[in-house]
Chain A
Amino acid sequence: MSRLDDELRMAFRREQPPVDFTDRVFAKVARQPAPRVRWWQRVAELLQPPKFRWVAIGATAALLVAIGAAQYARLHPAVIDDSGKVAAVETNPHASETAKDAGSLQAVPAPEAPAPKLAQSHTSVERHMAAASNQTPRNTRHMKRVVNPEAEAAKEKVMLALHITSTTLNDAQRAIGDDEEKPQRSR
Chain B
Amino acid sequence: MKAVNTLLMRTAPLCLLLLLFTASTARAQDAKIAMNNLDRLAELADKTIAVNVDESVIKLTLSILNPKRSADEAKLIDILSGLKGVYVKRFEFEKEGAYTMSDADSVRSQFNAPGWQRIATVTSKREGSYDVVLMSEGSVIKGLAVLAAEPKALTVVNVVGSIDLSKLRDIEGKFGIPKFGLEQIPGMTVTEKPKDKKEDKPPDQHDNR
Contacts from A to B (Cβ < 8 Å): 75, 91-96, 98-100, 103, 105-111, 113, 115-120, 147-148, 150-173, 175-176, 178-179
**Across-interface contacts of B92 in A (CB, < 8 A):** 105-106
Tell whether, in the assembled complex, residue A154 and residue B57 are in contact, meaning their CB atoms are under 8 Å apart: yes
Contacts from B to A (Cβ < 8 Å): 47, 49, 51, 53, 57-58, 60-61, 63-65, 76, 79-80, 86-88, 90, 92, 120, 122, 124, 127-128, 130, 132, 144, 146, 148, 153, 155, 157, 159, 165, 168-188, 190, 192
> How far, in angstroms, from A151 to B63 measured CA to CA in the complex?
8
Give the secondary structure class of B's interface. mixed
Give the secondary structure class of A's interface. helix
Taking a contact as CB atoms closer than 8 A, the residue among B132, B176, B190 that contacts A92 in the complex is B176
Tell whether, in the assembled complex, residue B64 and residue A155 are in contact, meaning their CB atoms are under 8 Å apart: yes
> How far, in angstroms, from A111 to B79 measured CA to CA in the complex?
30
Contacts A95-B178, A117-B181, A172-B120; A151 near B64 (Cβ below 8 A): yes
The contact sample of 28 A-B pairs, CB cut-off 8 A, is A92-B176, A92-B179, A96-B174, A99-B174, A99-B176, A99-B179, A109-B192, A111-B47, A111-B192, A117-B179, A118-B180, A148-B60, A153-B184, A154-B60, A156-B185, A157-B57, A158-B86, A160-B88, A160-B182, A161-B87, A161-B88, A163-B175, A169-B132, A172-B146, A175-B122, A175-B124, A176-B122, A178-B124
Tell whether, in the assembled complex, residue B176 and residue A103 are in contact, meaning their CB atoms are under 8 Å apart: no
Nearest CB in chain A: distance from B185 CB, A = 5
Tell whether, in the assembled complex, residue A96 and residue B53 are in contact, meaning their CB atoms are under 8 Å apart: no
**Across-interface contacts of B190 in A (CB, < 8 A):** 109
Nearest CB in chain B: distance from A174 CB, A = 8
Nearest CB in chain B: distance from A170 CB, A = 5
Interface contacts beyond A92-B180, A166-B171, A169-B146: sample of 10 additional A-B pairs, CB < 8 Å, sorted by A: A92-B178, A96-B176, A108-B177, A118-B178, A147-B64, A158-B58, A164-B51, A164-B155, A168-B157, A169-B157
